[in-house]
Structure 1
Amino acid sequence: MYRQRQLCTFKNQIRGILMVLLLFIFCISETQGNDLIPTEKPTLDNTLSSDSLKKLGISLLLEKKYTLADSAFISCINASKREHNLINEGKCISNLASSLLNQQRYGEALPLYLQAIDIYQKHNQDTLYAQTLINIALAYKKIDLYDSAMVNLHNGIKILERLKSKPDLMNGYNILATTLRNSGSNSPLTYFQKSLTIAHELDDKQHVAKIYNNIGNYYHDEEASDSAILYYQKSLALKPKGARQATTLLNLGLSYIALEKYDSAKHYLHLSYNLRNKSGSGASIFKYYIELIRLNTLSGDNDSTAFYISQADSILSSISVPLNLVYDFSDVKHKAFAAQGQSQKALELAELLIELKDSLINEQKQQLVSRYEVAFSVNEWKKAFELEALQRKQDKTTYRWIATFILITLFCMLLYAWFRSREAKKAKIQFKELNHRTNNLLSIFSSLIILQEMKLTTTTELNAFKKIKSQVDILNSVYRLLGNPTQSNSKWIAFDNYILHICESLCLAVGLKADDYTIINNMQQVNIHEKQCNPLALIVNEIITNAIKYGKDDQGHLTLEFMLSEINNEITLEIRDQGYGFSNDTGRKGEGSEIIKLLGKQLRADYSYGENGSSDFKIKFIKKGLSQE
């Protein structure tokens, strides 16, 4: 079972890497303004004004009542639209994003911030625009995408410096400094000092205490414990007595441990523990037990060590604790038993640590892939990438360099899979299947790249880019449907509905109104597995695109007839228009036909298209995939 879980995790990693690869190669596209506001939340009284709903939402957010806060902000957005109050709409969108950020729903928060930015830019709200850039940076920082965080921070701070908005600058400098510290970049002290200067000017003692604590953290990382203790003491002197002092007291204790001053360390750790124990969660108290075990092991207090080990074991048996904390606890317990000469217990823990380390590595790899999936999945990655592209002014060479880096990462992961297969013989068949699927996907991607690059001349570049965008949108649309329980069943998609979605989207994209086209739906309900849905969707996209160009009647009206059926596991799809078909100079043997030919082979299908000048299309193939139980 453990090997099977590893294999399943690795398959997800490969799929995530492939999606990111597809993104970076094809994302030279124009971002669309999608409505990304969640709709599943219950809304509040429609009679309330947007100002009232905004204040209510902020109050609930401060109380950490996130579900109610989300509902208030969604109602505020709807009220703002009714009132035509675009600024309030932007603020409520931004506040909703902040609520989602606090809930660690980063993939939903990021595009909402970008939607708010779009509103602020259009209406020249520079202060709100800069504040939202800082918030986006904070979201990137929380998922360890430090480059993206710093780009947004620098852009936001540049605007705030021009506007001389001191409170916002104070906050921005502090976030930039902590981002630099966490990423291991240049010394953050310059920006800490800038934030501290403004805090003194504004007489904001709370923020001064926060900066002192952050500077202490920096010196602690640099192993300059004496300097760290100095700033922790300064921070402690400014904080009101009570729970707010717990973090700084803990930091003091850790610094004294680094200096091997165990009596002082024990004093501050116990003070912090007593404050946190009054209101802290089991997981936060568990962290204290780890540090207290480490401290008492170093100081040789075996009785206290045994007591805190038993306390930590009790918490571990009653609540779910993150894997990294379980590993840290097992590590300090192992060292404690080794120091006490309990060899058998230490040996058992050493074996457990090896297993936990392997699990941690797998978890960290999955988290790495998930961070990029958060930033670039579905429609969200379009806006995120466009923002990054505008800020960094990336050219095609940069895109290719990034794609090369992703390919190297993919190769390393495949190499790792090969190495692991030697130890997991039972998973050999599954790995072969995974590699086969991966090679098929890469073949499709490579073929599309080659076809598009052949067209990238000065006169055809724009059309080629539009075609790439259309193809990528179709693939992404498939994955959106797979994630929508009302549109799909596991990995099966209701393709009759999806064809109508493709047709309406393409007609809308070229500016056709509802009166300009007619759809004749003679389709049965047919579910198609995701393995066949992707190539078939691209083929349908190509056929409908050509029909829009060449299938209109004399009055410029487009009529499309769709026939879809499934008989004895064979799927038949026909697309007809009432136009005159292709002219001699249409170029049916060009890029579009090559794409259809390539994808037809992928489906192992028989098809006819463009015969005798007709633009009618017909394709047959055998339905494959897993059982739909």
Structure 2
Amino acid sequence: MSSDKKQILSERNVIKTYLENGAVFLYKPDSFKEDMDKAKANFDKAFNRSIQIKDQDLIYRCIFYYGELLFEQNKYPEGVRNLEKAATYYHKNKKFEEEAEVWKVMGGRLFWKSPRSNTTIEDAIKSFEKAERLYKILGLNEKYAYVLKNIGDAHLNLGKLELAEKELLQVLKIYKKINYKNLHYTYDLLADTQRLKGDLGKHLYYSLLCVKSMEETADFRAAPIFYEQLALAYKDLGHHEISIDFLKKSVFLLKSEKKIDYGNLYEATDLLARELIEIKKPHQALDLVERTISEFPPKKNADKASVLSSLAFCYDKNNKTDAAEYNYLKMIELYENKVPSFYLINLSQAYFETGMFYKKHKKLDKAKSYFHKSLHFPKGIVELNQIKEVNLYLFKIDSAQGNYVSAIQYFQRYKALNDSIFNEKKNRQIEELQILYSLEKKEKELAGLKLDMVQEKGKTNQAVNMIKWGSGLVIALLMSLFVFWKSYKSKQKNNRLLQSQKNEIDLKNNALQKLVFEKESLMKEIHHRVKNNLQIVMSLLRSQSSNLTNEEAFEAIQKSQHRLYAISLLHQKLYMTDIVREIEMKNYIDDLLENFVDTFGLYGRIDFSVDIDRVYLHETQAISVGLILNEAVTNAIKYAFPEQSKGTITIMMKANCLKTILEISDNGIGLSVDFDIDTASTLGTTLIKGLAEQLDGDVSFVNTNGLTVRVAFSKGIITTQ
């Protein structure tokens, strides 16, 4: 090799060293000016030397790194121009893999540009698609799948959920074909897609696969995000204790990182606080949020808005209403005016939470306004579960305000969405997923036991080798064993007989379990259909009542609606519970009372005081109790507090080993002196007496400081304190 060629080769190595050194400073976290200056100094030396030796490949490699440096300095137009120059050069010289790499890098830069916008994401997709086509032609399947995954992620962020799902499933297919192991990043994106689509079963499915893949590959770089995703799946399904366990893992890992991801930390803390509130620990939730803010104060406006949301929710649950309202309004102000427009999902959730707050505190017009705002976003941005809840609350508000036509429309939308999310098929899928997950854990445990058995077997073989010298003793033992051989054969025969009997019993048990399952499924379907039919009748009565001018007829229809609602609610509880023939009464009575508040507009006038043991009743008893409660409360609302006077209705339900006692009492005007309850033949009292007889119980009316209706009956129940 000539000396000139050796000198050029040596110079190229020096240039490559400058580029490598510059890249080290360029890709350091946080883009500090000192690091960027050192990166540029190395790139300048590499560029000048490349020009001197007239090496076009190295010149355009320098141009590429200059573009990357401009991106780090937030000079996006100049950065794009540099990368386009590099891509044009590589294309012209048929260096297609290098060209694809440039488009992939540009796509990533545009996708994560701050502040993000739909325009930059669409530009990112265009760059990714150029890289995708080249990698596909070149047959570089792993790189092709990686870029396609980024395209799916971008479409997910634009709310194009069906397209994103299709692309991500294609990515999985390619990865599995080439035996690529780190599938958890793709599973996580699919879980996000299903959550936004409202498919809770598939959300749980992909979240479990994500965590399983992460743990099998020991790739824990994104563990906090993946644990949070799985916690979200369990939260939406109502498994709050399991959700809390995964959220605690996520928060612990986020706080342990050298470089704290504040956005993810606040998000995981907020979810954990809300789950703690779900299990009746509001003080612990508020303490968690306040400690996190104290340890890790927010700096960005988006983080400040996230923290305000957590504080507002926790303040409200700790009965600090003024502080809660202040934080909700401050959060809305930040999202509307100071947070980048890309945070549309967060803004929608902020409107929804604020609407929930005002609805709870009976400021219905404000609540309605924020609920409507939460819906005014492009399709795919707002979670389907949230849209379902908004329609339910708008139905309740319009019902309370007498807007029955729009109320029915909202209820129909809510029911359609609810049925699409929670249908029987999906419920079975969810149960099967959880069973499969449990089986996999057991299989791992069994694998561990097998390994222990193998090790023990090795030790046994060693022991056998050690005692071979005592062959005479072994022969003697064999002779002794012969004596027991006949008894062993006899026992073996008996064992076969017992095993045969056991198999027969197992088959019968399986058949019985299948019959029980089919019966329970049929019962749930019957209760579901009865509930739907009763609600249709209620809607018809509501429509009919809006045209009535006769007050007595209106009241009669309204009472009928309440009675139907009590029965409908019971059937709803029956088909949503695992115990098809038993109802937990506290939850049932709470829902009945909420309906009274919404229907009669009792906000601020009549309060309910509830003291109810956790009592489970058979469905036939629950219907009678619900109708007695309906009649007694309706009469108290209408007659105990004349001229819109204020008062309290107290409901008490206690159970012991012998009796269950139900008392409905008010502190109103009571019955008139000449009113004889024993001879009274009003429909309400007649119904209460008849229903008490159905319970095989006694009813009494006490007219002291208001009226108390007391029903005592024998229990066919289960009670726990």
TM-score by length of 1: 0.45
Greater Rg by CA? 2
